[in-house]
Amino acid sequence: MKPHIQPNMTEKHMRDEDFIVSKTDLKGRITYCNRTFQEFAGHEEKTLLGAPHNIIRHPDMPRGLFKLIWTELGSGHEVQAYVKNLSADGSYYWVFATMTPSYDANGHVIGYYSVRRAPDRAAVKIMEALYRQMKDEEARAPGAAQADASLTLLNRILSEKGTSYANFIRSI
């Protein structure tokens, strides 16, 4: 069960040399996390291992983004995203994440691997505004339709810009 953590306005900043690394199984349960992950998440390794990766999901993050991420990963694609995460003490930290499927020797997906680094601050400002729009769209939709509603908005915005999600993320 995900612990209830009250978010606050304190931001932690990743150092340029930091890399947050984690691995999950196919259901998104953490199977590995490095010490930098533990530091920023504010949880001990024993709490994180076996926990769903969304233990660090900040409520400011739109569901539609995670639907996009899981769809891309499920299709065997690498995906990158700017993500606002929640620490155990209620503080938050932004990351630029690269997520990839992990394969066994027979080419079957056995889990997912993610490496996060310090984000570009100008890109964070852009993503904060976009995620706010997506969250507003989710708030207008009924529960089960929230992820689809914000993902539809994101796709409409990207279409208006004449770009794909991957190209947009690389361009900011």
103-128 pLDDT, tens digit per residue, is 999 999 999 999 999 999 999 999 99
> What is the predicted pLDDT for the residue at 2?
65
Contact (Cβ atoms closer than 8 angstroms) between residue 110 and residue 104 = yes
> What is the predicted pLDDT for the residue at 3?
72
Helix segments in the chain, DSSP class H: 35-41, 45-48, 63-74, 121-140, 146-161, 165-171
Q: What is the mean pLDDT of the chain?
A: 97
Q: What is the pTM of this model?
A: 0.95
Q: Looking at the predicted structure, is the pLDDT value of residue 163 above 80?
A: yes
Q: Looking at the predicted structure, is the pLDDT value of residue 73 above 70?
A: yes
CB crowding 110-149: b at 16 or more within 10 Å, else e: ebbbbebbbbeeeebeebeebbeebbebbeebeeeebbeb
Fold of 20-119: Beta-Lactamase (3.30.450)
Strand 20-24 versus strand 30-33 pairing type:
antiparallel
Contact (Cβ atoms closer than 8 angstroms) between residue 168 and residue 158 = yes
The mean pLDDT of 137-141, rounded to a whole number, is 98
The DSSP output letter for 53 is G
